[in-house]
Amino acid sequence: MNAQLLQLLLSLGEVALMVGLCFALFGRAPAPAAHAFDARLALDVPGLRAGRRAVSGDGRSVLVEDARDGAIYLAVACGDGVVTRRLSRTTRVSRDGERLTLGLKDFTLKRAELTLDDASDWEARLKGPAA
């Protein structure tokens, strides 16, 4: 085993140790609180006037319609933070009962699944002219 490979393995071990300690100290990240989704959207979409809103059954995704122009925004939990995206016509939308699957052209957020009581309404909305 050469020295560089040994150094790499030691570094990986060091990273694993620090990650393990981080987990021991802080545990698994709690899902963001419900208000965190709205707070993030308010920051990312200045002037947003929230119209219709739907929270996924697992509480980790939210769809919000902007009452100003009908644009639909997705807010997704990412660790203990929230990430938002504007959904557009390029979003692939499919539905299986209450499960709505969104395929995004986004390198770090390719897919989102939401379980919604009114999934068919949102499907129609996302495929509609405002999208």
Partner 1 sequence: MKPFDPVQLATPAFAVLVIAEMVFVRFTGRGRFEVKDTAASLMMGLGSVIVGALFAFLFVGFARLIMPFALFPIGWSWWAVVLCFVADDLRYYWWHRASHRVRWLWADHVNHHSSQHYNLSTALRQPWGGVLALPGLLFLAPLVLLGFPLEMIAFVHGINLVYQFWIHTESIGRFPRAIEAVMNTPSHHRVHHATNARYLDANYAGVFIVWDRMFGTFVAETDEDPPRYGIIGQIASFNPLRIALHGWVSLAGDLIHAKSPREAVLYLFAPPGWSPDGSRETSDSIKARWADVPAE
Nearest to 117 by CA among 97, 131, 102, 103: 97
Nearest to 49 by CA among 32, 33, 64: 64
- Shortest distance (Å) from residue 54 CB to partner 1: 19
* 23 contacts partner 1 (rule: CB under 8 A): yes
Q: Which of 57, 59, 79, 128 binds partner 1 (CB under 8 A)?
A: 79
Could you please report the per-residue DSSP string of 36-64? HHHHHHHHHSTT--EEEEEE-TTSSEEEE
* 22 contacts partner 1 (rule: CB under 8 A): yes
> How many C-beta atoms surround the C-beta of residue 125 within 10 A?
20
Instruction: Single out the segment in contact with partner 1 by CB under 8 A; choices: 49-57, 90-98, 107-115, 118-126.
Output: 107-115
Distance CA 67, CA 48 (A): 8
How many positions of this chain bind partner 1 (CB under 8 A)? 30
- Shortest distance (Å) from residue 26 CB to partner 1: 5
Interface residue list for partner 1 (CB under 8 A): 8, 11-12, 14-15, 18-19, 21-23, 25-29, 43-44, 46, 76, 78-84, 106-109
